[in-house]
Structure 1
Amino acid sequence: MQALRRLFSSLFGAFLILLSLGVAGQAQDVVLTSRDGAIELSGTLLGFNGEFYRVDTVYGELTVDGSGVTCDGPGCPSLTDYIAQVRLSGARELGQVLMPALLEAFAGQNHLSAILKTIDDSHFTYVLKDRHSNKTQAEFHFQLSTAEEGFADLIADNAEISMSTREIRPAEKRRLEEGQPHDLPYSREYVLALDALVPVTMPDHPVHQISLKNLALAFGGQLTNWRDLGGPDAPIALYLLNRTSGASQSVTDRILKPANQDIADSVTRIPDGKDLDLRVSRDPLALALMPHSYMRFSQPMQIFGECGVSLGVDPRMIKTQDYPLTAPIFLYMPMHRLPKIAREFLSYTSTDSAQAVIERAGFINQTLKEVPLNQQGDRLVQAVSVAGTSSVDVAAGQAVDATKSSEPNTGTTLKDLQTMLNFLAPLRRVTMSFRFLSGSSQLDAQSRANIQRLAIVLESGAYDGRQLAFVGFSDGLGPASSNLEIAQKRAETVRDAVFKIAEAVNLDRINITTTAFGEAMPMACDNTEWGRDVNRRVEIWVR
């Protein structure tokens, strides 16, 4: 079945390319000549997006501005009746509702009619026509399958946009970069919306929280009775979406693999997220991991650590990445330039209008909110509870020694806490944070997208006349003084990354500051890797 699907995908993609170039079964040989006739370039036409030719030549793949050359040969496209062809392939969860809704909204804002032509439930096309002239401007061809299939189509040049509910895996990224002059830049990775993986049970279930370690052991088949999780003496019925879903693959990548576990054979697979939610809500033995976007009737569990800190899921926690299992929704693009209308569509998806569409589709949008300190009670309680002690102390009373430093970690003092609160009290936290890959100085995917997003917001003048602070926090491992220094450097690194992109921002109109409070406000326990990852962060505060 997979082989047939792959064959159909390749044939479908090839047909669309040939159709868009106006050729059928011919060698697409072209000769591009500069307007003055001084330069001539020949090769095989790989694509034309209405502005640029993409040609395979003896010098490799080249992109040539169409305004500076003439084209001769059987592969030359028509410049007068050009219709942009955009192929989208990948996660069915995105192609069924969210992407069509965004495309229809984009068309409406640009005085275009969006006409749907359905081939089957996995293949359909939106034809965008000018409402006044009725001239076709673009055709967006959808092929719904899985995130994995979408990446395969992108690698095979059978798609301009790959839709995914998980981040691209290292092996997929390497295949996509093969034959390219540079590594895949992060600008070709786009965070469209936000979601999260959530452990869920039937409503009114007596077990309300679970650790990531026990989640891994349960779905690995090592814990089989609710009694092991503090519940009644009853077997655990495990549920997940199908193996090919991005959410299930994220469970493997982010929860099972770090714990050296494989998914148990006893897991029941459900193909549809809505059906999974309903099934769990009616099964008193059920334990499932599912996307937040599908939660309607099931009951979410909190994730807790041994030090007593529990983290629940809500839109704010997902936006700020304070929840440890956030799951961004991705679009991936090839190395070459997309047609202009495709670029305009992608730009539209970051607008306020698009954020409303994203929310209606059940996902978490990326609209920035400001939260005053007095609405962050849980964080303050946690900060006060660890003041005067080392934040690496765990429930058993033992500290985790990761640095082997002879300098003791005295933790956050009450004076440190007072200094932090005095600084933050008049400010409001923006629902955007920056976190780093585990054991790395590199930002994670959602944070990389936040760099771009904050740069755009600053260039728009949204924070002109205001104070904007990059505030660094750390985990509690090692000397407190070193943690404070590391947190300060991270805040400065994020600030520099933002302003490297935000070239048009007027710095005279914004009061930019960086500061750090080290381990003063932990979000999770430092005796787990995921807890330390959550605690190492840079927050944005404004006044």
Structure 2
Amino acid sequence: MTSTWFKKIHPFLKCAAVFVAHFVFVGSSAAQDVIYRSENDAVTVAGRFVAFDGENVSVASDAGFVTFRADAMTCDGASCPDLENYVASLRLTGAARMGDLLLPALIDAYARDNGWNARESVQGFQLSGSDGTIALEISIEIEPQDQAFAKFANHDADALMSMRELRDSELGIAADAGLGPLNLARHARILALDALVPVVPANSDVRSISMADLTDELSGSGGQFNVHLKEDTDGQIQGFEDRFMRPFGLQLGAPDFSHEDLDTLLDAVSSGANELSLVPYGATQNTQPLTLNGACGLLSEARFLTMKTEDYPLTFPMFIYLPQRKQHPQIVEFLDWLRSPSAQLVIRRAGFVDLAAVPIPLADQGDRLANAISNAGTEVPLTELQRMIRLLSPRVRMSSTFRFEPGSTRLDGQSRSNVMQLAQAIRDGRFGGQELMLVGFSDGRGPATANRDLSSARAEAVMRDLNRALGGSFPSNVQVETEAFGEALPMACDDTIWGQQTNRRVELWVRGAP
């Protein structure tokens, strides 16, 4: 097949394409699906067609990933696309919990919002207008985490559905493959939040477990429970291992029982005696969910609000990883819609935690205040607690919370997404005429004065990131300020690393401007 798209050669194309041709043909020998040639064959690009964004063609060649303008380029090969009648296509691969449970509902709602028809087949979804013209095609392929990442890195998929953050080694592979810096918020989009919950049989007397005991059991060194896991370790369990085990020299051990699917696993746990597993929130069925306990007496339970604020430590973002290349306008519109109020409603109805910030009045936070008083150290005087109550009582806490990567001042993946969400809400006018206060808190290690200074620095860091996301300035009708209370309001016990990490946070509090 031969196809030509436009005839006029843009001057910039000549310069860019010469570089591309030099880049592509160093040592190129493997069989290619397509060959793009400019007029008089001055420039030739050979490789596997990957995508077209409306202006640029992306090709995976022997020498690397190449994107170039399609003007005046003629394509030869069986896989040459018809660029004049090109239908945007988004190929998703990855987690079953996203691809089976959430994305189909979102695609259907997106089609309805646009007045389109959504037709599902074994190949995926076709979204078309009333006249039958196809506007967008979306395919979903369910794959285990590691296999899905391999396909994404090989440009066999346009987006990766992942239940965990990519590891440093994977980020390096992705960068080498031409996918770009996938740790940036614009490439690591968070679709929703989910969580893992430890479960035991419903008739068990056990109601809570410490993180130390949980990791010991999953590493195989516990011995109190029979551990059940799925045969194929999914992204969430890998994420648990990455965050709560590997930093302390632990790794998942061989479980006592492996199961082909989640339903079989849950049946085995519910019918046993001393069984333990770690399952997704909302999928506990007939088992008994456990709260997480700490030596200081604080408990952490998986609930909608504790997951939304990430105060429950086993909360995990659901990522859609995107390459750095420019996307087709139809794909951009769909991805932007995923952050819309309509999409957030679909996410909630599907049983996941959406990204929309919700208010939490101070009056509804009695447990937090009681914990603040009972766990306040001798260096946190009553006057400081009173100052905190006076300052926060006329305000409402929003569920957006900002936390940092371990041992770093860099916001973690969820918090970077929260900054983008908050910036968009400010741009949309949702906080017009209001005061936004970013309130920093710390763990309880070290002197209280130093902790207050550290929490203040973190609040300032979030404000700088927010300012940067808004283009360098805040709207005149929105006031943003910072405050800090150090270790005065703990959410978890400080005797563990994860507890300290939970306590080191910046909260968003809002009130109408005077």
TM-score with structure 2 setting the length? 0.87
CA distance in structure 2 between the aligned counterparts of 1:541 and 1:278, rounded to whole angstroms: 43
CA offset at residue 85 of structure 1?
Answer: 2.1
CA distance in structure 2 between the aligned counterparts of 1:319 and 1:260, rounded to whole angstroms: 29
CA distance in structure 2 between the aligned counterparts of 1:324 and 1:472, rounded to whole angstroms: 18
Could you say if the C-alpha distance between residues 265 and 78 of structure 1 is closer, same or farther in structure 2, counting changes exceeding 3 Å? closer
Answering whether residue 198 of structure 2 is matched by residue 208 of structure 1, we say: no
CA offset at residue 63 of structure 1?
Answer: 3.5
Answering whether residue 74 of structure 2 is matched by residue 72 of structure 1, we say: yes
CA distance in structure 1 between the aligned counterparts of 2:377 and 2:474, rounded to whole angstroms: 42
CA distance in structure 1 between the aligned counterparts of 2:137 and 2:179, rounded to whole angstroms: 30
Secondary structure of 1:240's aligned partner = strand
CA distance in structure 1 between the aligned counterparts of 2:508 and 2:430, rounded to whole angstroms: 14
CA distance in structure 1 between the aligned counterparts of 2:64 and 2:232, rounded to whole angstroms: 38
Secondary structure of 1:355's aligned partner = helix
CA offset at residue 59 of structure 1?
Answer: 10
CA contact (8 A) 2:181 2:187 kept: no
CA distance in structure 2 between the aligned counterparts of 1:509 and 1:526, rounded to whole angstroms: 39
Which of 439, 445, 465 is equivalent to 1:471? 439
Answering whether residue 83 of structure 2 is matched by residue 83 of structure 1, we say: no
CA contact (8 A) 1:30 1:42 kept: yes
CA distance in structure 2 between the aligned counterparts of 1:107 and 1:204, rounded to whole angstroms: 45
List per-residue Cα deviations over 1:268-313 (Å, max 9, x = no partner): 2233334433443333322111111323332221111112211111
CA offset at residue 522 of structure 1?
Answer: 0.9
Count of equivalent residues? 476
Residue 228 of structure 1: aligned partner: none
Query: Which amino acid is 2:167 matched to?
Result: R
Which of 143, 146, 162 is equivalent to 1:145? 143
List per-residue Cα deviations over 1:205-264 (Å, max 9, x = no partner): 211111111111122222223xxxxxxxxxx22112333311222232233323433434
Residue 436 of structure 1: aligned partner: 404
CA contact (8 A) 1:473 1:521 kept: yes
CA contact (8 A) 1:452 1:501 kept: yes
Answering whether residue 154 of structure 2 is matched by residue 165 of structure 1, we say: no
Answering whether residue 412 of structure 2 is matched by residue 413 of structure 1, we say: no
CA contact (8 A) 2:52 2:58 kept: yes
Query: Which amino acid is 2:462 matched to?
Result: V
Secondary structure of 2:508's aligned partner = strand
Query: Which amino acid is 2:439 matched to?
Result: V
List per-residue Cα deviations over 1:109-135 (Å, max 9, x = no partner): 1122111112xxxxx32122222x211
Answering whether residue 95 of structure 2 is matched by residue 95 of structure 1, we say: no
CA distance in structure 1 between the aligned counterparts of 2:385 and 2:321, rounded to whole angstroms: 42
CA distance in structure 2 between the aligned counterparts of 1:32 and 1:112, rounded to whole angstroms: 38
Answering whether residue 250 of structure 2 is matched by residue 246 of structure 1, we say: no
Residue 315 of structure 1: aligned partner: 304
Percent of pairs identical after alignment?
Answer: 35
CA distance in structure 2 between the aligned counterparts of 1:310 and 1:374, rounded to whole angstroms: 20
CA contact (8 A) 2:64 2:177 kept: no
Query: Which amino acid is 2:250 matched to?
Result: Q
Which of 498, 517, 523 is equivalent to 2:491? 523
Structure 1: which 5+ runs fail to align?
A: 1-24, 119-123, 226-235, 390-410
Query: Which amino acid is 2:292 matched to?
Result: I
Residue 231 of structure 1: aligned partner: none
CA distance in structure 2 between the aligned counterparts of 1:183 and 1:95, rounded to whole angstroms: 24
Query: Which amino acid is 1:103 matched to?
Result: I
CA contact (8 A) 1:148 1:244 kept: no
CA offset at residue 42 of structure 1?
Answer: 3.9
List per-residue Cα deviations over 1:12-38 (Å, max 9, x = no partner): xxxxxxxxxxxxx975222457xxx9x
CA distance in structure 2 between the aligned counterparts of 1:374 and 1:366, rounded to whole angstroms: 23
CA contact (8 A) 1:26 1:74 kept: no
CA contact (8 A) 1:43 1:58 kept: no
Secondary structure of 2:310's aligned partner = coil
Query: Which amino acid is 2:190 matched to?
Result: V
Secondary structure of 2:105's aligned partner = helix
Secondary structure of 2:277's aligned partner = strand
Could you say if the C-alpha distance between residues 295 and 266 of structure 1 is closer, same or farther in structure 2, counting changes exceeding 3 Å? closer
CA offset at residue 472 of structure 1?
Answer: 0.5
CA offset at residue 178 of structure 1?
Answer: 0.8
List per-residue Cα deviations over 1:415-470 (Å, max 9, x = no partner): 11111110000111101100011111111111111111111111111000111100
CA offset at residue 355 of structure 1?
Answer: 1.4
Secondary structure of 2:485's aligned partner = strand
Query: Which amino acid is 1:342 matched to?
Result: I
Which of 486, 494, 503 is equivalent to 2:454? 486
Deviates more, 1:189-198 or 1:499-508: 499-508
CA offset at residue 61 of structure 1?
Answer: 5.0
Runs of 4 or more above 4 Å deviation: 55-62
Secondary structure of 1:327's aligned partner = strand
Answering whether residue 108 of structure 2 is matched by residue 110 of structure 1, we say: no
Query: Which amino acid is 1:381 matched to?
Result: A
List per-residue Cα deviations over 1:140-160 (Å, max 9, x = no partner): 222211122211111001000
Residue 16 of structure 2: aligned partner: none
Answering whether residue 302 of structure 2 is matched by residue 303 of structure 1, we say: no
CA distance in structure 2 between the aligned counterparts of 1:291 and 1:370, rounded to whole angstroms: 25
Secondary structure of 1:521's aligned partner = coil
CA contact (8 A) 1:461 1:505 kept: no
CA contact (8 A) 1:240 1:248 kept: no
CA distance in structure 2 between the aligned counterparts of 1:388 and 1:253, rounded to whole angstroms: 32
CA distance in structure 1 between the aligned counterparts of 2:83 and 2:181, rounded to whole angstroms: 32
Residue 317 of structure 2: aligned partner: 328
Secondary structure of 1:261's aligned partner = coil
Query: Which amino acid is 1:86 matched to?
Result: L
List per-residue Cα deviations over 1:295-353 (Å, max 9, x = no partner): 33322211111122111110111111111111111111122122222221111111111
CA distance in structure 1 between the aligned counterparts of 2:210 and 2:60, rounded to whole angstroms: 53
